[in-house]
Amino acid sequence: MISQLSWKIGGQQGEGVESTDRIFSTALNRLGYYLYGYRHFSSRIKGGHTNNKIRISTKPIRAISDDLDILVAFDQESIDLNSAELRKGGVIVADAKFNPTIPDGIDARLFAVPITKMAEELGTSLMKNMVASGASWALLGLPLEVFNKAVEEEFGRKGPAIVEKNIEAVKRGAEFVLEQAGGPLDEFKLGEADGEQKLFMIGNEAIGLGSIAAGCRLMSAYPITPASEIMEYLIKKLPKFGGTVVQTEDEIAAVTMAIGANYAGVRTMTASAGPGLSLMMEAIGLAGMTETPLVIVNTQRGGPSTGLPTKQEQSDLNAMVYGTHGEIPKVVIAPASIEDCFYDMIEAFNVSEQYQVPVIVMTDLQLSLGKQSCDPFDYSKVQISRGKLVTDAPALEGPELFKRYELTEDGISPRILPGEKGGLHHVTGVEHDEVGRPSENAMNRQRMMDKRLNKLNDLSIRDAIRVDAPNETPDLLIIGMGSTGGTIDAARTMLGQDGVTSNHITIRQIHPFPTAALTPYLEKAKKVVVIENNATAQLAGQIKMYAGYADKIESLLKYDGNPFLPLEVYKASKELS
């Protein structure tokens, strides 16, 4: 019995790779296994090699594996490109149609299954995905009823005839491969899962769900990889809650529309990736200057310019922290798991209203699009706080105006929404006085700058740094952010086997930087390794700038478009330790 295994499906984009993966993993989720998915795809819609990999485990996992147990291939290219990943004695299930061969030097077993032929016999080659996933399922020796139930749910809408055909396709794939293999493969016999129902979703969906729970009712956005799923999710759900999604003409419209809607009192978000974030910069300054709440999700991908639009990277950190001219208060939050994606959206909306500042939630492609198991979300933890929002201001006398920018102890002023009788005031991106009237008075300018910039002094979000520090004075303190946490932990297990002690900190509050919280751990570590998917060590830069310890900080960087693998992190960290 094994506790985990890795499965991958490859083929041409648009020929059913996605759907095979979806149905296969949904069924596994039903059985209660922990799953972690990785989508490799190019920005072409049809054609071009693509593959999806999932790691299946009886225990929680948050990283892709270094190797592969089963490869399902719709074409020879998929075998050629991916078989090197197979562990010794791994299995290839390939479509017999293209006379699959095992490349030289690869030790694997090949099952050629007439995938296309069987699907066509049942009426359409579209059913390839069913034959292929049925064959995979059978090799693992898992109960077919569970799989059929998933099929029923996927195709139920299309009527019983379609469901039956698909179930038949699964059966044929399963029977064929079992006959070739002589039954389910013993070495792939997974231990029983805990059977507890998990959620299985991508980060972008958790962000969408979290936003609705947070009271977000409007989204204005312009499509971009890897952010679009957020708007696509919300447009399906928001109408049920009275809200909507507007697909704007560009990201400048998206962000300024969100500013207008937040000003008028609706929790509104926009989401984009690097190119869109760049277009939003001026408006972010407007939100900062007018103290208008604003939530932006930036799903990072490979930059600069169009860069690697469908690949992993974490290179927008500086743009998010420093972007926009002049100086404003701004919060940058980095979820590090699917659960974070959900809970952080609630916090982002709360913080943006409590402190009246723009909040950027930064993910990366792997976190946004990688499908993963996660613990169920806790409804009781959803708390909405709107800060100093005033709803019952007394009527104004004559030309008097509401002090929307009143200088207060904590720098945060009462906020009131258009429509309120006692709330008339001005709002402008020009420097202004307490009622919002433009002012160039030097004293006023200084007071207002200080007011705005000091608002965040006491901000500390939930798990501003997430600490796993079993060692008082570790050989290594490994620091990361975003989707890399699981990979770092997998590497730490290997390091531990070699006797290297390590602590792990995930930085979640990227800005304002959590200096005080982090410093004691930097102090005690013998060496610090900062792991990030970019070329210029942007996170390490923040750590050095705010906390110091430059002499013991080393960087492990990867910017070839792919996420870190546990082995890479292990080897590099070992060398640095």
CB 91 within 8 A of CB 185: yes
Tell me: does residue 423 bind other proteins (CB under 8 A): yes
Separation of alpha carbons 461 and 259, rounded Å: 23
The least CB distance from residue 299 to other proteins, in Å, is 19
Binding other proteins by CB under 8 A: which of 182, 326, 419, 499? 419
Tell me: does residue 487 bind other proteins (CB under 8 A): no
- Residue closer to other proteins, measured from CB, 313 or 340: 340
Tell me: does residue 81 bind other proteins (CB under 8 A): no
Binding other proteins by CB under 8 A: which of 200, 222, 343, 513? 200
- DSSP states along 480-524: E-GGGHHHHHHHHHHHHHTT--EEEEEE-EEES--HHHHHHHHHH
Site string for other proteins, 287-326 (x = CB under 8 A): ---x------------------------------------
Tell me: does residue 550 bind other proteins (CB under 8 A): no
Separation of alpha carbons 323 and 317, rounded Å: 9
The least CB distance from residue 201 to other proteins, in Å, is 4
Tell me: does residue 437 bind other proteins (CB under 8 A): yes
Residues 6+ apart with CB under 8 A from 435: 401, 402, 403, 404, 405, 425, 426
Tell me: does residue 372 bind other proteins (CB under 8 A): no
CB 317 within 8 A of CB 445: no
Binding other proteins by CB under 8 A: which of 10, 16, 226, 243? 243
Tell me: does residue 397 bind other proteins (CB under 8 A): no
- Go through the chain and tell me how many residues it has: 577
* Beta strands per DSSP E along 334-376: 358-364, 371-374
Structure tokens at 510: 């990227």
Count CB atoms within 10 A of the CB of residue 535.
13
The least CB distance from residue 238 to other proteins, in Å, is 8
Tell me: does residue 399 bind other proteins (CB under 8 A): yes
- Residue closer to other proteins, measured from CB, 424 or 517: 424
Tell me: does residue 215 bind other proteins (CB under 8 A): yes
Tell me: does residue 286 bind other proteins (CB under 8 A): yes
Structure tokens at 356: 């009246």
Q: Name the one range near other proteins by CB under 8 A: 87-95, 265-273, 299-307, 328-336.
A: 265-273
Structure tokens at 432: 């202004």
Residues 6+ apart with CB under 8 A from 168: 122
- Count of residues touching other proteins (by CB under 8 A): 70
CB 43 within 8 A of CB 373: no
Q: Name the one range near other proteins by CB under 8 A: 59-67, 73-81, 247-255, 485-493.
A: 247-255
CB 69 within 8 A of CB 87: yes
Tell me: does residue 143 bind other proteins (CB under 8 A): no
Q: Name the one range near other proteins by CB under 8 A: 80-88, 422-430, 446-454, 506-514.
A: 422-430
